[in-house]
Chains A and B, each alone.
Chain A
Amino acid sequence: MAQDEAPRDVQRSVDNHAPQARDVSSPAEPTQEQTLRRRKAFGSMLLPFAALLSGCTTQKTQNAMARLKKLEFDDEPGATHMEPDGTRTFRNHELVDQDGNVVRFNDDLIRGKVFAATFMYVQCKGICLDMTTHMAGAYDLLKPVMDNPVQFYSFSLAEDSPEDLKQYMIDHGIYGRPGWRYFSGPKSAIKDIRWAFGFFERDEELDGNLNGHTGMARFGNHRIDKWSSCPALGNPLLTARSMLAVIPPDRRPRVPGVEREPDATSRKIPNYQPRKPLGGEPL
């Protein structure tokens, strides 16, 4: 499986920094040291060009490079970075879905998306089965908006293979449902994603204990940096409502059966003129 790395253009210009250690490597692939050595050599060859190029790149590109560099090589798992437009960037891990498609975590799963994320693994004898049933219930309620705009992501905590994930989905009757995908990746990448979503324990042993893994779902709307979380167990209706709550009310799709019951004592303000928001036009 490919290791997580910064986009290639950035990688070239920041090659004097060591990339993160890979967790999953196949014998056919070069070792980490070899990759490092190669990259350093390649990087040093490119340095003069990089210097030349740096004069030509815009300030914006340079800022983006610096930011990704900082994010990519931060030691601590779970770091995210805020952008000037108020959105946040996660590390751009390379993951693979149940059909073997390779995706980038930040670029493909986060940027511009509205989603619910949960964590699981195929062999789980604990809460995973209940969670899957629960999320399937929420999916059924949200069917009219699934895939557009709502996405469900489930991340494997145990480096399950795409085939195993696909079989798991088939077994639970959720394979082929639009807008619900399962992802696997190196443990370090999934840990980073899990930490970035806030699902971690301060005790290292507890944090690594698969049996006690999180049953929370993370809801996100990247474009307005709206985040919330609730258990992915219990009543699927509430999970469906929490999912829609990250979408602003004026954009929120009306999903019959999921909408909150009308509040007994609130009413529309006649001729209401919204105040112009201080943060510019609404997204």
Chain B
Amino acid sequence: MSRSLNPLDTKVSRRQFAQGTALATGAFFINTKFSRSMLAENPTSPFTTPWMQPLAFAPWKIPIPFGQQYVTGEPIDEARHQRYDEFRPVKFYEMQACEQLCRPHPQLGFSALFTYDGCVPGPTFMMRYGEPTHCRISNCLPAAPVGFGNCDVTTHVHNGHHAPESDGGPWNIYSPGHYHDHHWPNIYATDITTGQPDKLEAKGTLWYHDHCLDFTSQNVYRGLTGFWLLHDDLDSGNENDPNPDAFRLPSGVPDGKRVKNRYDIPLVFTDRNFDANGILTMDLMNMDGILGDKFLVNGRVQPYFEVERRKYRFRLLDGGISRAYDFWLSNGMTFQYLANDGNMLPVPMERQNVKLHVAERADIVIDFSRLPASTTTLYLVNRAEQTNGRAPTGNTLPMNQSPQLLKFIIRPETGVPDNSRVPTFLRAQPEMNVPVVGERTFALTRGNGMWQVNGQIFDQTRCDAAVKINTAEIWNFSTAGGWSHPLHNHCEEPRYLSINGVPVAGTTLQGRKDVHPLYPGDQIQVYIKFRDWLGKYPMHCHNLIHEDHAMMVRWDITP
């Protein structure tokens, strides 16, 4: 068996590099035939043996030492940021987008991926409320990469409550040889009625990804994603926290190869296609949505993960292009569902499954100590049937026919006490106490093969909804036809009032949401506040193929 190359390792031996370069130059796309039905319905990637490699983790992003200059040398232009002086950064990060040879499975080839800091997924940002940060992201991608992916980038922190100039929207694109400064103040959204930070607005599981206009799907497919986690006094990331109010959930996010005694596990699920040589390939002419036939977790195809007999927190992220998931454990056992889109629910909910559409997140706690001693393996499976990029069929696959994504290998009892817990009460939802000043409708339709919102085609120079800061509105989202659209709005998180007229109380959708999974025919009504930042933000379908084909609107927060 050939030696495995950790996709997260940036070091490559000379021989491996030569092999990889040969593939990248000579055989990057060799002998691939694209036919229209090929990629969506029929598996074409080479066979890979499952469970050959352990689950991999990105390293933590380390701030640059205090007092040290950015490598790029230029001082920060503070005047370009809103409220910079109010939230002066205490931590500074520097990251670069660059090309890197990676192999997601030992039986596949090396693909030249786009990465943050040379790893896929990119480094994990460990953020904390009350610690404003500043991050400089340099674009060091090749000037003219062949094939899918564009060398112009912009990095968006998904669900960040950030000013538009730091939001990484599709209009903040910059080319190789340039950098972009992001001011991430890490503040709770303000309670409009009191003018104070509203701690109920706390977020937890966020992620960052490229957002280049017209090319987001290609750049994300080629690797530009990573986790961005936020902690506060309650969700403190310490299961031994002496603070009596702290949740003390299973804690410890793995840091690269440092995985021992780490029980807070971010998992990004993606699906990809590979050509006959095992090189990553993408159907660039697909207008519906792309499905891959290989399932990757944290950048590796079907890895295994050794777990102790105790509680683990998993942060599930659907980082795919167009695929929706319905996660189950292979024995059908239940787990605690804590957070939807990174936002804690009022109380944990016992669930057997989690449904996620693209860009949605779910935090769950699985207690492996509940398993009988005879159980040594368990699988995380996807039971959502989906045959094309338009929408899942709505059918639930039988357990034994569902693709297995991740194998848990359960270690024998160690006797080490598990101090973590799942509290009975998590976080109340922010109140809908601001009077509603308006109601808008966003109807997602398709005509003549073009995406339209309210019958209009996207124009980034036109504001489709100008809202007033420190107000609230009711927005209605609807979709028609046989399409599903995971709609995502930047900056603010609405709360759902109803889905198809049915209130969401008691469901997993009762919390704040930034991705609104509209399945065919759905209508979602939400309550949304506008706070803290002025400027233009996009709202778009997070089926990235739809997004790239202009399924987007621009909305502005105005004074």
A residues at B contact (CB < 8 Å): 70-71, 74, 76-86, 88, 126-127, 195-202, 212-216, 218, 224-231, 233-235, 237-238, 242, 245, 248-251, 260, 263-270, 272, 274-275, 277-280, 282-283
The answer to whether A229 touches B101, judged by C-beta atoms less than 8 angstroms apart, is no
List residues of chain B with CB within 8 A of the CB of A231. Answer: 450-451, 457-458, 549-550
The answer to whether B29 touches A269, judged by C-beta atoms less than 8 angstroms apart, is no
Q: Per a CB cutoff under 8 Å, which of A76, A274, A275 touches B35?
A: A76
Instruction: Given the known inter-chain contacts A224-B147, A231-B457, please indicate yes or no for A245 contacting B215, CB distance below 8 A.
Output: yes
Instruction: Given the known inter-chain contacts A263-B173, A275-B140, A277-B145, please indicate yes or no for A235 contacting B181, CB distance below 8 A.
Output: no
**Measured between alpha carbons, how far is A157 from B136 in the docked complex, in Å?**
49
B442 on the A face (CB < 8 A): no
**Measured between alpha carbons, how far is A142 from B172 in the docked complex, in Å?**
22
Instruction: Given the known inter-chain contacts A82-B33, A250-B144, A283-B144, please indicate yes or no for A274 contacting B176, CB distance below 8 A.
Output: yes
The answer to whether A215 touches B448, judged by C-beta atoms less than 8 angstroms apart, is yes
The answer to whether A274 touches B152, judged by C-beta atoms less than 8 angstroms apart, is no
Instruction: Given the known inter-chain contacts A270-B74, A274-B140, please indicate yes or no for A216 contacting B549, CB distance below 8 A.
Output: yes
Instruction: Given the known inter-chain contacts A266-B172, A278-B20, please indicate yes or no for A230 contacting B147, CB distance below 8 A.
Output: no
List residues of chain B with CB within 8 A of the CB of A283. Answer: 144, 146
List residues of chain A with CB within 8 A of the CB of B172. Answer: 263-266
Instruction: Given the known inter-chain contacts A234-B457, A248-B151, please indicate yes or no for A270 contacting B32, CB distance below 8 A.
Output: no
**Measured between alpha carbons, how far is A69 from B20 in the docked complex, in Å?**
30
Instruction: Given the known inter-chain contacts A264-B165, A266-B174, please indicate yes or no for A84 contacting B27, CB distance below 8 A.
Output: yes
List residues of chain B with CB within 8 A of the CB of A245. Answer: 150, 152, 213-215
Q: Chain A interface: which of B251-259, B281-289, B417-425, B509-517?
A: B281-289
List residues of chain B with CB within 8 A of the CB of A127. Answer: 448
Instruction: Given the known inter-chain contacts A84-B30, A237-B461, A283-B144, please indicate yes or no for A265 contacting B181, CB distance below 8 A.
Output: yes
The answer to whether B144 touches A248, judged by C-beta atoms less than 8 angstroms apart, is yes
List residues of chain A with CB within 8 A of the CB of B30. Answer: 82-84
B377 on the A face (CB < 8 A): no
The answer to whether A226 touches B98, judged by C-beta atoms less than 8 angstroms apart, is no
**Measured between alpha carbons, how far is A228 from B166 in the docked complex, in Å?**
26
Q: Is the interface of B mostly helix, strand, loop or mixed?
A: loop
Contact with A along B205-238 (1 / 0, CB 8 A): 0000000011100000000000000000000000
**Measured between alpha carbons, how far is A27 from B447 in the docked complex, in Å?**
39
B337 on the A face (CB < 8 A): no
- Nearest CB of A to B72, in Å: 5
List residues of chain A with CB within 8 A of the CB of B73. Answer: 270
List residues of chain A with CB within 8 A of the CB of B182. Answer: 265
Q: Which residue of B lies closest to A79 (CB)?
A: B35
B462 on the A face (CB < 8 A): yes
Contact with A along B507-550 (1 / 0, CB 8 A): 00000000000000000000000000000000000000000111
Contact with A along B179-190 (1 / 0, CB 8 A): 111100000000
List residues of chain B with CB within 8 A of the CB of A224. Answer: 144-147
List residues of chain B with CB within 8 A of the CB of A274. Answer: 140, 142-143, 176-177
The answer to whether B448 touches A266, judged by C-beta atoms less than 8 angstroms apart, is no
- Nearest CB of B to A118, in Å: 11
**Measured between alpha carbons, how far is A216 from B214 in the docked complex, in Å?**
13
**Measured between alpha carbons, how far is A277 from B24 in the docked complex, in Å?**
10
The answer to whether B548 touches A228, judged by C-beta atoms less than 8 angstroms apart, is yes
B25 on the A face (CB < 8 A): yes
Contact with A along B436-470 (1 / 0, CB 8 A): 00000000000111110000111111100000000
**Measured between alpha carbons, how far is A283 from B145 in the docked complex, in Å?**
9
**Measured between alpha carbons, how far is A192 from B100 in the docked complex, in Å?**
36
Known: A198-B36, A250-B176. 11 other contacts (CB 8 A): A81-B32, A82-B275, A196-B285, A198-B286, A202-B288, A225-B29, A228-B548, A229-B287, A245-B215, A263-B174, A279-B142
List residues of chain B with CB within 8 A of the CB of A196. Answer: 285
